[in-house]
Chains A and B, each alone.
Chain A
Amino acid sequence: GEDVEQSLFLSVREGDSSVINCTYTDSSSTYLYWYKQEPGAGLQLLTYIFSNMDMKQDQRLTVLLNKKDKHLSLRIADTQTGDSAIYFCADDVNNNDMRFGAGTRLTVKP
């Protein structure tokens, strides 16, 4: 099947920016998503980007999409300890097949 890849760990200091990267292989994706998972909980949608957009900004979150390189990134400005979580990149290959990366565990140090 199609793959979504992301690095497993990221550690930053409180107040710094965090950048989580993701690559995907399916060029027919309509939307690409970022989900956040708190410890022992389900996933919650953080943000998403339509495939014909290059950038989307939502308060502290900036999503960049390079469709040519099939690269997606999530930047969190002024990272706080409450941002510590696992972040999943996902693309909707088709309506019933959303492909998830392995998740990047973000640790924010005081």
Chain B
Amino acid sequence: DGGITQSPKYLFRKEGQNVTLSCEQNLNHDAMYWYRQDPGQGLRLIYYSQIVNDFQKGDIAEGYSVSREKKESFPLTVTSAQKNPTAFYLCASNRGSGELFFGEGSRLTVL
């Protein structure tokens, strides 16, 4: 079955540590996205990529980094520069427009 796989589902981090969230899709989609979800707020776009080896900052890119070395993969690194990283992170993909297909999310908690 085609879909988007995010891992890990739950992640705990000590302050000052970098962590990387994995996102893999087998939908053959060109575009991939990372969103952050906080309670009572809509999804906020962190980074997006329309094509391999290219990505763009979203609304809240500070403290995050991404790479897009393969079409199927779009990992997100939450760096120590992100001051409030505790959140639910959602990866999504589409053909470049239209319906977004989402993964199941990764919940990051900073201890």
Measuring CB to CB, which residues of chain A are less than 8 angstroms from any residue of chain B?
Answer: 1, 4, 8, 31, 33, 35, 40-45, 48, 88, 92, 95-103
Contact = CB atoms under 8 A, between A and B. Distances in A.
Contacts, number: 52
Contacts of B35: 100
Contact of B40 (A1, A8, A98, A100): A8
B62 interface: no
Contact of B42 (A41, A44, A103): A103
Interface of B: 4, 6, 31, 33, 35, 40-43, 45, 48, 50, 56, 59, 90, 92, 96-105, 107
A3 to B, nearest CB: 9
Contacts of A48: 99
A97 B45 contact: yes
Nearest to B59: A1
A102 B48 contact: no
Contacts of A97: 45
Nearest to A103: B42
Contacts of B102: 42-44
Given A41-B105, A42-B90, A98 B100 contact: yes
A42 to B, nearest CB: 3
A35 B100 CA distance: 9
A41 to B, nearest CB: 5
Contacts of B101: 45
